[in-house]
Amino acid sequence: MNLHIENLSKQYRAGVWGLKDFNLELGAGVLGLLGPNGAGKSTLMRMLATITRPTRGSISWNGVDVVKSPDALRAVLGYLPQNFGVYPNLSALEFLEYMAAIKGLDGKAARRRIDELLQVVNLTEAARRPLGGYSGGMRQRVGIAQALLNDPQLLIVDEPTVGLDPEERVRFRNLLADLAGERIIVLSTHIVSDVEAIATDIVLINQGQLLDRAAPEDLLRMLDGKVWQWVVPSAELPALKQNFRVSGAIRRVEGVQVRVVSERAPSAEAQAIAPSLEDVYLHRVGMGAHS
Ligand SMILES: Nc1ncnc2c1ncn2[C@@H]1O[C@H](COP(=O)(O)OP(=O)(O)OP(=O)(O)O)[C@@H](O)[C@H]1O
């Protein structure tokens, strides 16, 4: 199982690139695609899902050129797009039957698979209720169930936890973790804790380009000895933000407890602490200093 992406680029109009010269090689596992709004995550995923055509570059699936011959990949692809819409008057069961028909699954086999999937996503009891009355998390679980109908080898899920409350987010994350195994899962998000929990590999992406690709523990190692914490008077915070990359600030009775990413100790009182993936993200994507 191999997905090979080479110099992949998408230009929307003169000067506007959704993705530029992107290279990536993937085997089985969960890839967390992490980047801010507008980074190019959806553009990449839509090209992988064979919905958007690249401007240049190539994608190959087990050696087959996906742009020229998309069918080989489509047959083994599951895709949960961003803003996945549902039909409010259909029940989960009816919706999944409809999707199965579109995907060419036959009657009895389809029904067996749907029953199985409703259990996997824990919706068996709600299966006959109209989707309009479902919570956001339940809808996303229906979305993942439709993406799994054909037992895909490549499962693409675009920002699946947006708008979910913390409990639903954790539940959805656990579900994705359970689905890992002999398949490639590509999960995009701008929520660091989502990928921290389940990704075996992380790609940091910004402005259409790949910044880093590494296992979570290797990303953390990049900042070993470079994350500092201490308490400053509130009045000093704006100046500190001017001079350092502040990755966290928590109000305390005695002042503000700040977290700073810096090569050297930023203050005599600063203590080196263990880096978090959030520090790495803010450091690499460059949003920490003035946010
Ligand atoms: N259809 C389009 N036409 C023109 N520009 C587009 C189009 N789709 C995306 N873009 C631009 O391409 C860049 C990448 O967008 P993309 O949606 O891929 O990012 P993203 O990382 O998925 O962001 P988000 O988290 O907001 O969905 C952005 O600058 C965006 O404005």
Model confidence pLDDT, tens digit, residues 30-67? 999 999 989 999 999 999 999 999 999 999 999 999 99
Ranking 112-121, 170-179, 227-236, 281-290 by mean pLDDT, the lowest is: 281-290
Regarding the beta carbon of 38 and ligand 1, being less than 6 Å apart is answered yes
pLDDT > 70: what percent of the chain? 98
Range of the domain at 149: 3-214
pLDDT tier, 154 (very low <50, low <70, confident <90, very high otherwise): very high
Give the residue, out of 16, 46, 158, 191, with the most ligand 1 atoms within 8 A of its beta carbon, to mutate for a pocket test: 16
pLDDT tier, 113 (very low <50, low <70, confident <90, very high otherwise): very high
Pair (154, 274) in one structural domain:
no
Q: Is the pLDDT at 169 greater than 90, yes or no? A: no
Last residue of a domain, one of 177, 192, 214: 214
Regarding the beta carbon of 81 and ligand 1, being less than 6 Å apart is answered no
| Residue 28, in any domain of the structure | yes
Query: CB of 3 within 8 A of CB of 59?
Result: yes
Tokens describing residue 39: 């980074």
| Residue 291, in any domain of the structure | no
Pair (154, 125) in one structural domain:
yes
pLDDT tier, 209 (very low <50, low <70, confident <90, very high otherwise): very high
Pair (243, 194) in one structural domain:
no
* Number of domains comprising the chain: 2
**How far is ligand 1, taken at its centre, from the CA of residue 36, in Å?**
11
For residues 166-190, give the mean pLDDT: 89
Q: Is the pLDDT at 290 greater than 50, yes or no? A: no
Tokens describing residue 249: 């600030």
Last residue of a domain, one of 192, 214, 236: 214
pLDDT tier, 77 (very low <50, low <70, confident <90, very high otherwise): very high
Pair (21, 114) in one structural domain:
yes
pLDDT of residue 86: 80
**How far is ligand 1, taken at its centre, from the CA of residue 220, in Å?**
28
CATH of the domain at 206: 3.40.50.300
DSSP H stretches of helix in the chain? 41-48, 71-74, 92-102, 107-120, 136-147, 166-179, 192-198, 216-221, 237-243, 277-285
| Residue 135, in any domain of the structure | yes
pLDDT of residue 191: 85
Give the residue, out of 17, 41, 46, 51, with the most ligand 1 atoms within 8 A of its beta carbon, to mutate for a pocket test: 41
Last residue of a domain, one of 195, 214, 233: 214
For residues 107-134, give the mean pLDDT: 94
Distance CA 165, CA 167 (A): 6
Pair (20, 109) in one structural domain:
yes
209-214 and 255-261 as β-strands: parallel, antiparallel, unpaired?
A: unpaired
Query: CB of 191 within 8 A of CB of 117?
Result: no
For residues 217-222, give the mean pLDDT: 93
Instruction: Transcribe 229-281 into DSSP letters.
Output: EEEE-GGGHHHHHHHSEEEEEEEETTEEEEEEE-SS-SSTT-EE----HHHHH
Pair (259, 200) in one structural domain:
no
Pair (231, 210) in one structural domain:
no
The residues pairing with 234 across neighbouring beta strands, listed in sequence order, are none
pTM value?
0.89
| Residue 208, in any domain of the structure | yes
Pair (210, 227) in one structural domain:
no
Regarding the beta carbon of 39 and ligand 1, being less than 6 Å apart is answered yes
Look up tokens 């921290």; give the residue: 196
209-214 and 227-232 as β-strands: parallel, antiparallel, unpaired?
A: unpaired
Distance CA 61, CA 5 (A): 9
Regarding the beta carbon of 37 and ligand 1, being less than 6 Å apart is answered yes
Pair (124, 254) in one structural domain:
no
Q: Which of 97, 39, 210, 70 is nearest to 154 (CA)?
A: 70
CB atoms within 10 A of CB 253: 5
Regarding the beta carbon of 18 and ligand 1, being less than 6 Å apart is answered yes
Q: Is the pLDDT at 289 greater than 50, yes or no? A: no
Regarding the beta carbon of 46 and ligand 1, being less than 6 Å apart is answered no
Residue 37's SS3 state is coil
pLDDT of residue 27: 94
Pair (156, 235) in one structural domain:
no
Pair (144, 230) in one structural domain:
no
Tokens describing residue 44: 């990449």
| Residue 290, in any domain of the structure | no
Q: Is the pLDDT at 184 greater than 90, yes or no? A: yes
Q: Which of 208, 211, 214, 212 is nearest to 56 (CA)?
A: 208
| Residue 229, in any domain of the structure | yes
**How far is ligand 1, taken at its centre, from the CA of residue 162, in Å?**
16
Distance CA 113, CA 101 (A): 12
pLDDT tier, 107 (very low <50, low <70, confident <90, very high otherwise): confident
**How far is ligand 1, taken at its centre, from the CA of residue 228, in Å?**
34
